[in-house]
Structure 1
């Protein structure tokens, strides 16, 4: 592990239309002690040729650039190949269709150096539209009190976001928290972020910065925006629960935390059921959802509100109008 070195692991599949802007954003970094590892996950377009064309540019900038080709195996498989060889003191794994701001690495390194107990860092992320780069909003974790529990919030989806480039981890703590061997085994439908973030979030303190260090590009046709049928979504929710339980099983959990974690898993399931029913304008899962809420003594106001929106469709229209008015007033 090289002190001060930041390893960036980036999977890429058929990225000829966008990978150049990501590579340029790494070249534009004010902090250059970087090891960029791009895993070409079986691309069938011009991605490999584009990666080769950047070799000289990175060499001239003094940035270590490694690009490897593998048969298409998905993001988790690509991340695994990067985890086998990365050597930085710090690690991040942004998507190849997003962008780092020019001082992203410098700002994050400064915080991590000033907070040696911090295992994981989250920045503010700007959401922008593809092509036009119109700002659509921000992702940010807002800490409202001293009872910060990133681990539970990652499970429930409360006050959190999952765009990977918004995160940086300290490699020594990351390796210490992760089960051995260091292999990501999440299915494609779920992605790798749960398995990468939960172990270190449970064991080590997290830090948060207000600076925008990452731009998440909303791109039509991206993996994260793929539409599924109602019943496929139900299947994915089930897979998510199974994956989370397997990840948690491999973490050395304190006995006093087990009850809170089980409740967090139920909250995640309830939220996903409600989101699904609202998106598809259905109430198939409402009885089961209400039973889960009752059995687990869930009192989250937003969850209760969404239950009413599912049960009484007319309220959805009023809620939509209310939200639009709030947006206009901001």
Structure 2
């Protein structure tokens, strides 16, 4: 009987589980099981090539831990400490593998209070203008695993063609692709391109912030963010519901070409446009001139001679017989 070690299992893009007997061997080894539809999208079943009760238990245990590890942010959405509104949003994201159209959550979002929004931020949930999503799931490993789980749950043939690792957008040539799948793995399709959800969100937020009178002008920067041509950018914006109009800015000779203007799509999404605050630089009040403290002025010397009368004791002569003294005494009588 084979003794399995969890560290020696691997899963390929066909939904096949391999086991490598030699721990230091980089090759996948031999196929021992295959994923099949299970209870839920994130809990597939396992069918062994050689049925074994112990092997079934061991492989199922490894698969559960593998999904927990690769989709950790998603699996942590189950939290009884969440308030009611954020819990509903977290549940919706969990069931949809991390991406939900914002329009489906508007009623719940309107009930969010500051504490609830803080809980969503802690869970690393982004409530974008178009889609609610989890940026940490935009990495190659979570994208590939969600593709496999989606294909198994919906009975699609594996492997499924998806955008190459790390690309921000990719031209879609197959008209029969499953757009729901692409949205679920974080690459919603608009026009001719599948656009990585975080870059799409970046463009949408900027165009709403820079809009004026329900109009905005496309930017060359959007092409850089989406990794596409100007023509493809126009098609992506139109697919999002923005109406292309003639450029309103005349181009001077020798100047770089200005991109076209668009009528902003109205609706719930337009309510997310943030009103730009205009900061007016105020002149700082001029500092009042400091008054130098003046020393108290010395009293000016009186002009002209000053006569002080005083009597020196011990040297006073008897003046009782003087006429002035007699006159003074008569006045007192």
TM-score (normalised: structure 1):
0.27
Give the number of the structure whose residues are more often helix, by fraction.
1
Larger gyration radius, structure 1 or structure 2 = 2
Give the number of the structure whose residues are more often strand, by fraction.
1
TM-score (normalised: structure 2):
0.27
Structure scoring higher RCO (CA < 8 A, sep ≥ 6) equals 1
